[in-house]
Amino acid sequence: MFNDFKLADDRPVYIQLKEYLKKMIMNGHLLEQQKLPSTRELSTLLGISRNTVLTAYADLEQEGLIYAVKGKGNFIGKVETSKTPYIKLNWKEKVNEDALLADELDLMKHGVRWKKGMISFNSIAPDEKLFDVENFKRAFLTRMSIEGDIVLNYGYAKGYKPLIDYLLHYMEIKGVDISNKDILITNGFTEGLDILLSSLAKKSGRILCENPTHHSALKLFRLHGYDIHGIEMKEDGIDVCQLEKSLSKTDYDFAYLIPSYHNPTGIVTSSEKRIEIMKLFSGYHIPIVEDGFNEELRYSGSHLAPLLAFSGRGNNVIYISSFSKILFPGMRVGWILADKDLIHSLESIKRARTIHTSTLDQAVLYQYLHDGYFEKYLKKAKSVYKKKYELALHACNQYIPFKKMTGDGGLHLFIELENGMNARTLLKKCYQKGVVFSPGDVFYTNGGGSNTIRLGFSRLQEDDIVHGIRIIGDTLKNEMEVKQ
């Protein structure tokens, strides 16, 4: 007995001993009223200090697992364990249609699995090698020294006040009229959109969006039971003629738009088009949910304000964003900037569901922004991503026979293959050669896009970008030859 006790790692020894004994008690290897070795015996037996054994015994006694009898030693106490016949329920039958649909639409479960060593164009997450962990640590330590105890206790559903104020200022500088607007901090963009969809009255039950569009948004629209009407993309943004036609013919609850580095096409909506869009929607009194996705990542070019800025003192734009595609997505901080009355409603849904977003994350992010580390980081990130972008663009032009390619910068390119080519077939072949990418069909509202692919290059090394694209191109050429 006790000879299978092994010090497994760098944890405090008294905890390891306590857990070891507790487990033996719980699984019946030590029985009620059984005498434990004296602390001296056990310390000799296990080669650990007697104090360690004393602490472990004291803790076990405190938990009611052992008891001491003066002059006699320590004994195992009475521990109730499972005595009832166990039952098995079939949980697969107990989940509802929402859960089944969420499973069905879960790309992480059903997508092609990336394996170590593969070149993956799947991700548009930031390259963690770029993270300035040192400045992040600095921001953390600064905030902790200012109010460590406060940020570790409960906060407010609306969010951490200094961060809210910072973001309001940040958006005001982008030209947004913040009077009569407010911010709700959320667990990233996704929770923001989900809370909004959970709170809006469904009238027509229809949503307008660009086609293709962000698959996570599509998933949420579907989970919330909306009909989705997609409008084609032109080189400079959504097809405004089609948009006008749709708006004039049909009622929509709202539109969902991604004006900058549109996911998946990478298109940046021009300033002129932004104004056109805003005029149209103002005319029809239909709200816009603007996805602020990656607008920070502009490598160059003329100034572009978010749609929200064009709405001026109006309140028909709901802006949802996060820095997650650029900065620390592991932290899950996003925000909704919208009309005050609306935010007041959303706040209660937020509170009911998750109380509030991690105050620690919000506070450290605030400090990181406040101290100017974000600006510095953004410069570095932009220059690295720009280089990757240019490399990817060049390689695609060189190796991939495409019908159309879009992507004005950002972290990905979108490619339309010749008609009749199937991206999933191509993916299977490329997978065998160690390269994966996102088949574009997942971004389409209407089952289209079978001949499209999205190439995210943010996390790849430069030579892997070129090498991977070349493999995709060669594989595609082979496919095309076979087809002919």
Q: Residue 283 or 401: which CB sits closer to its own copies?
A: 283
- Rule CB under 8 A: which of 149-168 touch its own copies? 149-155, 157
Binding of its own copies by 172 (CB under 8 A)? yes
Would you call 192 exposed, middle or buried from its count of C-beta atoms within 10 A (0-12, 13-18, 19+)? buried
DSSP state of 175: T
Binding of its own copies by 292 (CB under 8 A)? no
| Least distance in angstroms from the C-beta of 450 to its own copies | 24
From the list 307-315, 408-416, 425-433, 437-445, the region that binds its own copies by CB under 8 A is: 307-315
- Rule CB under 8 A: which of 228-267 touch its own copies? none
Q: Residue 210 or 347: which CB sits closer to its own copies?
A: 347
Give the total of residues touching its own copies (CB under 8 A): 138
Please give the Cα distance from 120 to 137 (Å, whole number). 30
> Which of 49, 204, 248, 348 is close enough to bind its own copies by CB under 8 A?
348
Q: Measured between alpha carbons, how far is residue 165 from residues 22, 159, 470 in Å?
A: 49, 10, 47
- Rule CB under 8 A: which of 309-328 touch its own copies? 309-316, 328
Binding of its own copies by 351 (CB under 8 A)? yes
Binding of its own copies by 11 (CB under 8 A)? yes
Q: Which two tokens stand for residue 381?
A: 């990130």
Please give the Cα distance from 270 to 248 (Å, whole number). 23
Binding of its own copies by 68 (CB under 8 A)? no
> Among candidates 398, 396, 394, 382, which has minimal Cα distance to 454?
396
| Least distance in angstroms from the C-beta of 402 to its own copies | 28
Helix, strand, or coil here: 123? coil
DSSP state of 29: S
> Which of 44, 68, 113, 372 is close enough to bind its own copies by CB under 8 A?
372
User: How would you label 420-436 residue by residue, b for 16+ Cβ within 10 Å and e otherwise?
Assistant: ebebeebbebbbeeebb
| Least distance in angstroms from the C-beta of 319 to its own copies | 14
> Among candidates 331, 330, 259, which has minimal Cα distance to 295?
259
| Least distance in angstroms from the C-beta of 430 to its own copies | 23
Binding of its own copies by 380 (CB under 8 A)? no
- Rule CB under 8 A: which of 435-474 touch its own copies? none
| Least distance in angstroms from the C-beta of 133 to its own copies | 4
Angle 463-469-472 from CA coordinates, rounded to 5°: 140
